[in-house]
Structure 1
């Protein structure tokens, strides 16, 4: 039996949700643990029962946000269609999400910029998750005969890196006035590279280039 009080997991989620809203309203650097506690009608000491520091709350909010993005991309990757069609859709979705982010939530963008600059673990985990999702589609494309027989674990990071112009918040903003490549042109290039089977395609781990 329970006494009707929220579970620790529920309280933790309430703290993260309140922190995210405050980050959007006043910025993550201006938000204090006392602000979060006040919003939830609890004491700062109670917040510290669930998070050892404000930095831990920052990372939990970032994980919540990247988790939503990961779920959207993963859902697109699992939609019906050929591997090439799904790759195009998931790369497009990656760009759409980042464009939405770049056009709004200026105060949240500040947190993301700091997270990238300081190499928060949540950023590394998010990149790893994206690489895995892309690699899985590449693997399926190889099995279906749509892509060359490359190493999916190498191709995943290569594809993600090739989308930097369209999926990195700072680079996306800096390149907005540069006309080419367009998103479709970049994705066409990536799909051609995956399907070309040329010597320059990502090799399987441990392989070396043949001497010409």
Structure 2
């Protein structure tokens, strides 16, 4: 876990190899039961019935396996957000839905499987590439919504687009970042509506 530069694609062997998928599936189950921190590659090898050396043919480290799992969890949240945004009419409502869904999906991950959430928390705390890429995709989606709002006349156009996007992202980040989210549970019911309303008022032309 010390290697913060491990890529989520830092896997050895064919990308579509069934053994690689088997390792990820077994690791997900094992992490769910015992946690990421307490599990070693040796533990995974025993659980799967492979040798430790064989697992290293497909993944260069435990973190590489963790990143694969983390990427899958974050993709689920991202897909939920995209679906909610696509179903909304008009940029203001898209922004409201984005805030609401990010919080709901992140909370669902936290409460449904705390052990897997620990992987996301470790990834976020150490800035694993999986979380960096996830945040970048969320920022890009946010920028698209702001740009749409400017074109439709719903949002002001004077502030530079990148500045506006970064500011809004900082508003939602406490509920997007796994490590910070756990300290904001008391506000998750009201925060999405209140924060999105505040942002929308600031975006008024």
- Name the TM-score, length of structure 1 as normaliser: 0.78
Aligned counterparts of 1:113 and 1:71: Cα–Cα separation in 2: 19
| 5+ long unaligned stretches in structure 1 | 1-6, 198-212
* Conserved 8 A contact 2:124-2:178: no
Aligned counterparts of 1:43 and 1:179: Cα–Cα separation in 2: 44
Aligned counterparts of 1:130 and 1:17: Cα–Cα separation in 2: 26
More RCO (CA 8 Å, sep 6+): 2
Check 1:8–1:43 CA distance in 2 against 1; reply closer, same or farther (3 A cut): farther
* Conserved 8 A contact 1:84-1:141: yes
Which of the residues 20, 31, 43 maps onto 1:23? 31
Aligned counterparts of 1:88 and 1:111: Cα–Cα separation in 2: 28
Q: Which moved more, 1:33-42 or 1:95-104?
A: 33-42
CA RMSD of aligned residues (A): 2.4
The structure in which a higher percent of residues are helix is 2
Q: Which residue of 1 aligns with 2:9?
A: none
- Structure with bigger gyration radius: 1
| Alignment length (residue pairs) | 190
CA deviations 1:147-203 (Å, max 9, x no partner) are 1114433333321210134333343332344699743111100111122x4xxxxxx
CA deviations 1:97-156 (Å, max 9, x no partner) are 122233342222332332222221212111111101111111111111111114433333
